[in-house]
Amino acid sequence: MSSASKASKLTELRTKTDRELAELIENELELGIQFAFLAQSVADEFESGASPQLRAEKIYTEAVQLLPKVDDRTEAQRLTRKLRKLRQELDRIPASELQAHTGSR
């Protein structure tokens, strides 16, 4: 296999990996947004660590860590907008709800 062919294969693999990383982040952000919506609409107690808002916060934190690894600038910008949307939804959850689910008073 020629060096040009190897380089082409590596570029192709990198592009595929970038695309899959962006899809993973997007799927997680969508899930986080759904958890944030759920957290806004429920008042019931959940098992420790299983509340929708805690799951959404965890997803947010993970997405913040993964987003810099997305090389495609357009994808990164799109995912950043979605990340902001998740943060906005999380910020709409009343503090009393979060305290009730985390045990803080």
Q: Whole-structure pTM over 0.75, yes or no?
A: no
Cα 104 vs. chain centroid, distance in angstroms? 25
Write the CB contacts of 90 (distance below 8 Å, at least 6 apart in sequence).
32, 36, 39, 53, 56, 57, 60
| CB hemisphere CA count around 35 (13 angstroms) | 22
Cα 73 vs. chain centroid, distance in angstroms? 17
Can you give the pLDDT at residue 50? Answer: 64
In whole angstroms, give the CA distance from residue 80 to residue 9: 29
Q: What is the mean pLDDT of each run of 10 residues along the chain (105 residues)?
A: 86 92 95 88 56 90 95 94 95 68 47
Can you give the pLDDT at residue 97? Answer: 52
